[in-house]
């Protein structure tokens, strides 16, 4: 409950559906990311890592987070798209 998720700019509104994931899948990934990735550290900025780097990072962190394979994919897709968007600005 200490996370700045609601305080920062929400990336959702700017994500174009042209990426890997769109619509409900992207929203599920975003929700899992904010629910499961900030119990140990602050929620990382999607633009912190390159789109290419996120899937590997999420795979490593998914073990810590107890995410299923499907959930890991959703979070990785979300962060890949969100990173691409963040770095385009
Ligand atoms: C159980 C605790 C825990 C959870 C849950 C967790 N992390 Fe981490 N995370 C860590 C620790 C500890 C480190 C630093 C050491 C390391 O890299 O293993 C870290 C480091 C990171 C880094 C590197 C930060 C940097 O400064 O380079 C990223 C990115 C990251 N986590 C993303 C995530 C994502 C995405 C999730 C959700 C899928 C997640 N973490 C869930 C414990 C956690």
In a domain, 80, yes or no: yes
Atom of ligand 1 nearest to the CA of 60: 18
Q: How many domains are there within the chain?
A: 1
Substitution site in 61, 71, 77, 86 for ligand 1 pocket (most atoms within 8 Å of beta carbon): 61
Identify whether 5 is part of a domain. Answer: no
Q: Are 83 and 14 in contact (CB under 8 A)?
A: no
Confidence of residue 88 (pLDDT cuts 50, 70, 90): confident
Q: Which two tokens stand for residue 62?
A: 């998914």
Residue 38 domain flag: yes
Residue 4 CB-half CA count within 13 A: 9
Among 11-20, 30-39, 60-69, the range scoring the smallest mean pLDDT is: 11-20
Mean predicted confidence (pLDDT) in 1-23: 50
Tell me what pLDDT residue 5 has: 45
Domain of residue 52 covers 20-88
Give the mean pLDDT of 17-44: 85
Computed over every residue of the chain, the mean pLDDT equals: 83
In a domain, 2, yes or no: no
Separation of CA 61 and ligand 1 centre (Å): 5
Domain-embedded: residue 76: yes
Tell me: pLDDT of 63 over 50.
yes
């Amino acid at each position: 409950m200490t996370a700045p998720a609601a305080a920062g700019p929400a990336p959702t509104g700017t994500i174009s559906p042209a990426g890997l994931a769109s619509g409900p899948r992207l929203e599920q990934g975003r929700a899992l990311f904010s629910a499961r990735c900030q119990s140990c550290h602050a929620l990382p900025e999607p633009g912190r890592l390159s789109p290419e780097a996120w899937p590997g990072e999420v795979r490593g962190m998914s073990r810590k987070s107890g995410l299923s394979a499907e959930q890991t994919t959703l979070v990785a897709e979300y962060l890949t798209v969100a990173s691409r968007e963040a770095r385009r600005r």
